[in-house]
């Protein structure tokens, strides 16, 4: 469970530091190249970078 907490903290940090879905996805893959379920990462990155309306 501590790994998941760190993963989410890294995601939030990199979300703030990147501008696009591609940048966020790439930055996370650099930190976690062996993480399972890459589709979830892509979906989360898309949702995080979705414009707020």
User: Which is it for the CA torsion 41, 14, 31, 7, positive or negative?
Assistant: negative
Instruction: List the domain range (segments joined by +) for residue 44.
Output: 2-32+39-48
| pTM of this prediction exceeds 0.85 | yes
pLDDT one-digit tens code per residue, 7-16: 999 999 999 9
Task: Supply 42's token pair.
Answer: 């892509």
What pLDDT is stored for residue 1 in this prediction?
A: 75
Residue 7 in any domain: the answer is yes
Output 23-32 pairs: Cβ under 8 A, ≥24 positions apart: 24/48, 24/49, 32/7
Task: Supply 3's token pair.
Answer: 């790994």
Residue 17 in any domain: the answer is yes
* Mean model confidence pLDDT for the chain: 95
Residue 21 in any domain: the answer is yes
What pLDDT is stored for residue 21 in this prediction?
A: 97
Residue 53 in any domain: the answer is no
pLDDT one-digit tens code per residue, 16-40: 999 999 999 999 999 999 988 999 9
């Amino acid at each position: 469970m501590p790994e998941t907490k760190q993963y989410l903290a890294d995601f939030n940090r990199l979300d703030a530091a990147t501008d696009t879905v591609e940048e966020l996805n790439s930055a996370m893959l650099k930190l976690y190249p062996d993480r399972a379920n890459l589709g979830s990462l892509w979906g989360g990155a898309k949702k995080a970078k979705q414009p707020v309306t």
